[in-house]
C-alpha cells in the first residue's frame, strides 16, 4: 500500500523557516516524480513544487520561487520541502504527492501556520 507521511509542520513567525519531510513507503520512491501541493484552510488546491525521480530537476510556483527548496533522498525514502522567509499567506495544509503521470496519490498533509 502506498503511504506518504508528512511531518515538520507547525507554528512559525513571519520570516521564519520550516523543513517539511515526507516519508514514503509501499513503493519504490526513486521511480516517481514527487510534488508538494498546499491548501489554505477553506480554499482550493495550489501546486507548490515538484522534483524528478533522481532529484536533478525541480520546478516551483512563482509564489514560492527563491524561498522554497524541494529535495529528496531516495536512499532514505524521503522527500523534503525547505521553506524560508515564510509569510502569512504561506499558511496552509501541505500535502506530499506522488505523481503517477496520470494523477496524484496524496499524503495526509501537515499544517503550517505562519503567525506572530
SS3 47: strand
Interface with other proteins, residue 65, by CB under 8 A: no
Interface with other proteins, residue 44, by CB under 8 A: yes
CB of residue 109 to other proteins, shortest distance in Å? 6
35 vs 72, beta carbon nearer other proteins: 35
Rg of the chain taking only CA atoms, in angstroms: 13
CA dist 49 to 67, 69, 104, 111, 115, Å?
11, 8, 13, 17, 23
Interface with other proteins, residue 84, by CB under 8 A: no
Q: Which of residues 14-43 bind other proteins (CB under 8 A)?
A: 35, 37
Amino acid at each position: 500500500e502506498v503511504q506518504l507521511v508528512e511531518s515538520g509542520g507547525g507554528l512559525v513567525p513571519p520570516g521564519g523557516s520550516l523543513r517539511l519531510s515526507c516519508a514514503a513507503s509501499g513503493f519504490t520512491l526513486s521511480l516517481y516524480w514527487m510534488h508538494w501541493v498546499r491548501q489554505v484552510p477553506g480554499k482550493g488546491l495550489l501546486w507548490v513544487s515538484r522534483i524528478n525521480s533522481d532529484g536533478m530537476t525541480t520546478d516551483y510556483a512563482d509564489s514560492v520561487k527563491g524561498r522554497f527548496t524541494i529535495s529528496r533522498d531516495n536512499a532514505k525514502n524521503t522527500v523534503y520541502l525547505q521553506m524560508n522567509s515564510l509569510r502569512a499567506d504561506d499558511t496552509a495544509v501541505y500535502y506530499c504527492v506522488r505523481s503517477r503521470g496520470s494523477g496524484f496519490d496524496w499524503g495526509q498533509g501537515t499544517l503550517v501556520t505562519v503567525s506572530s
